[in-house]
Amino acid sequence: MMELYTDDTIAAIATAPGESGIGIVRMSGKRAIELAEIIFFPADGKKTSQSPGYTMHYGWIVKQDIRSGGTARGGIIDEVLLTVMRAPRSYTREDVVEINCHGGIVAQRAVLERILEKGCRLAQPGEFTRRAFLNGRIDLSQAEAVLDIIKAKTDSALTISMEQLRGAFSREVLRIRKRLVEVLAEIEADIDFPEEGIDPARREEIAATLCSVSGRLRDIIESSSRARIFREGISAVICGKPNVGKSSLLNALLRQERSIVTPVAGTTRDTIEEIVDMRGIPVKIVDTAGIAEPRDLVEKKAVRRAREYMDAADVVILVFDASRELSAGDTALMRRLKHKKIIAVLNKTDLPRRIKVPVITARFGAPVEISARRLRNIRGLEEAIIGCVYKGNISPGASVQMSNARHIHAIMRAKNLIDGILHSLENALSLEFVAQDIKEALGYLDEILGKRFSEDLLDRIFSDFCVGK
């Protein structure tokens, strides 16, 4: 990313492109209010520059500058509601102006261009949030939570990210940080007055504190690996021979007719994916072309594609037609599948049964019996899918959770250091080393909060954002 100045005024369209009721163009920076006054003709004639913060004004974005006598009569770009937010009480802690114009790309673009023409710079992705961080309104983990909220696919993922934005995770990290700083201060005092020596009781006290810090970090790591599933979800691929009811199963899980179902084998010619909310966990379900001897190039590619999806999936759902005997195709597929987590499913159990179950059970454990057409035991299959990847009770927010890989990594490294120190203390190693390691662990915690950061890291985090956030 190019170097970002932070003292200029930026602008961007904040709403999603496309037709919509309203669209919001947003500006932030020292000149935001002054620029608004140049292009905005207020219906009540009051000066925008004198508007208090958190006020909204009705009027028009006009073609001619107001200070050169521009009025609504000289040409209107759009009819708008304009909100003034004054530093530091705004999203970025700078002066912010938000213009609610008509939705649709043309109106929003025209307003944005008018602003840019007056000397605003087009914002980079996430630059508003980046400023909120650089100006100290939120810490880095909260800035990341903003992105997670925008990207949340289920209510549970939203709850976790919202907690993070409200600072629950940051506060926990700060609490741990404070305890480490206290221990460090004690140790450094001992290093400064070595003649007094460190009494063994103190050494034990320090060890006890570090032990509880380590336990706290472990709790966070454990609850977080669960939280990550809520945010990022899992993927399940449905595979099986042609005509066993794979597409019917996808539709049953989605509770809508998404994939085409026909009695003809080889109906699905390409992979189809959809996301289903299973008890708060977003599960990407992929319907694949039935695996058999491909009849043409399209089928050949589809089968190869199905295999690639299976390799990448968290769970493979292998479907059998219970109303038919196991064929050579089924057994070949059973032999070939090497995936770690396979759920065998007997479909069409509404029909008289012909399949030999023990052969399947011997290989994959007891199959889940369903009828995709009659929507029988679909819940049971959902339980099996979730149970495959998620142990423990399913409820977000049970304890402080982090869902972000960067945070998990930093917490793990801090924990490793603390555990190392505990070992050193037992072996009566020099306190100077101990102090060094505590400082390093503090560094990892500071990285989470963004007390210590590099421009590179910020670029990486914010480049995932949309422009206008």
Ligand X SMILES: Nc1nc2c(ncn2[C@@H]2O[C@H](COP(=O)(O)OP(=O)(O)OP(=O)(O)O)[C@@H](O)[C@H]2O)c(=O)[nH]1
**Contact residues: ligand X, CB under 6 A:** 242-248, 261-263, 265-268, 289-290, 347-348, 350-351, 371-373
Interaction between residue 271 and Mg ion (CB under 5 A): no
Interaction between residue 288 and Mg ion (CB under 5 A): no
Question: Closer to ligand X at the Cβ: 144 or 369?
Answer: 369
Tokens of 419: 């555990």
Stretch that binds Mg ion, among 108-116, 242-250, 275-283, 351-359 (CB under 5 A): 242-250
Question: Closer to ligand X at the Cβ: 104 or 266?
Answer: 266
Residue 299 CB, nearest approach to ligand X (Å): 10
Q: What, of Mg ion, ligand X, none, does residue 155 touch, CB below 5 to 8 Å by kind?
A: none
Interaction between residue 92 and Mg ion (CB under 5 A): no
272-278 and 121-122 strand pairing: unpaired
Interaction between residue 248 and Mg ion (CB under 5 A): no
Q: How far is CA 104 from the centre of its chain?
A: 27
Please list every residue from 328 through 357 that binds Mg ion, using CB under 5 A.
Answer: none
Interaction between residue 100 and Mg ion (CB under 5 A): no
| Residue 291 burial (10 A CB sphere; 0-12, 13-18, 19+) | buried
Contacts of 210 by beta carbon, 8 Å cutoff, 6+ apart = 183, 418, 421, 422, 425
Residues in the chain, total: 469
Applying CB under 5 A, among 9, 124, 224, 247 the residue interacting with Mg ion is 247
Stretch that binds Mg ion, among 67-75, 124-132, 263-271, 445-453 (CB under 5 A): 263-271
Q: Within 10 Å of residue 358's Cβ, how many Cβ atoms?
A: 7
The CA-atom distances, in angstroms, between 228 and each of 97, 142, 160 are 35, 16, 9
Rounded to an integer, what distance in angstroms lies between the CA atom of residue 353 and that of residue 368?
Answer: 14
Residue 163 CB, nearest approach to ligand X (Å): 40
Tokens of 364: 């994959």
The beta-strand segments (E) located in 52-170 are 55-62, 76-85, 96-102, 121-122
Rounded to an integer, what distance in angstroms lies between the CA atom of residue 148 and that of residue 156?
Answer: 12
Residue 314 CB, nearest approach to Mg ion (Å): 21
Residue 405 CB, nearest approach to ligand X (Å): 35
Question: Closer to ligand X at the Cβ: 20 or 327?
Answer: 327
**DSSP-based three-state secondary structure for 234:** strand
Q: What, of ligand X, Mg ion, none, does residue 373 touch, CB below 5 to 8 Å by kind?
A: ligand X
Question: Closer to ligand X at the Cβ: 320 or 444?
Answer: 320
Contacts of 400 by beta carbon, 8 Å cutoff, 6+ apart = 163, 168, 169, 172, 220, 223
Question: Closer to Mg ion at the Cβ: 145 or 372?
Answer: 372
Rounded to an integer, what distance in angstroms lies between the CA atom of residue 310 and that of residue 316?
Answer: 6
Question: Closer to Mg ion at the Cβ: 247 or 371?
Answer: 247
Residue 274 CB, nearest approach to ligand X (Å): 14
Residue 246 CB, nearest approach to Mg ion (Å): 5
Residue 292 CB, nearest approach to Mg ion (Å): 12
Q: What, of ligand X, Mg ion, none, does residue 262 touch, CB below 5 to 8 Å by kind?
A: ligand X
Q: What, of ligand X, Mg ion, none, does residue 137 touch, CB below 5 to 8 Å by kind?
A: none
Rounded to an integer, what distance in angstroms lies between the CA atom of residue 313 and that of residue 235?
Answer: 5
Residue 235 CB, nearest approach to ligand X (Å): 18
How far from each other are the two terminal CA atoms of the chain, in whole angstroms? 17
Interaction between residue 267 and Mg ion (CB under 5 A): yes
Amino acid symbol at 351: L
| Residue 257 burial (10 A CB sphere; 0-12, 13-18, 19+) | exposed
Question: Closer to ligand X at the Cβ: 267 or 399?
Answer: 267
Q: What, of Mg ion, ligand X, none, does residue 164 touch, CB below 5 to 8 Å by kind?
A: none
Residue 370 CB, nearest approach to ligand X (Å): 7
Question: Closer to Mg ion at the Cβ: 250 or 400?
Answer: 250
8 A C-beta contact, residue 149 and residue 162: yes
Residues that bind Mg ion (CB under 5 A): 246-247, 267-268
